[in-house]
Amino acid sequence: GVVSVDSVEVAGVTDPAATLTINRQSVAVTDEGHFRQSVRLTTGINTIEIAATNPQRKETTKVIQLLVDVAQMGPTRPAPET
């Protein structure tokens, strides 16, 4: 899909015993198998590769491609004062 943000949050559920990587970087998996990781995006096509390897060394991979269109991005808003 086409997005106009500079990062996305990748989240899901896998085997709690699995080793998980997103774009070849290790990601923590909870005891229930949940994971969540922010991924920075750049202008153009971004490929996000999610790979889970179970204790028997069977790997499952999911590849997602996003097109980032900076022209669609609005102006950055300052954080509200507290």
| pLDDT tens, position by position, 66-79 | 998 866 555 444 44
Instruction: Please give the structure tokens belonging to residue 47.
Output: 């490929």
Residue 45's CB is within 10 A of a number of other CB atoms, namely 10
Average pLDDT of the residues in 2-29? 93
Task: Tell me: pLDDT of 10 over 60.
Answer: yes
Q: Give me the amino acid identity at 82.
A: T
- Determine the average pLDDT of the residues in 1-20: 90
Tell me what pLDDT residue 78 has: 46
49 vs 28: CA distance, rounded Å: 15
Percent above pLDDT 90 for the chain: 72
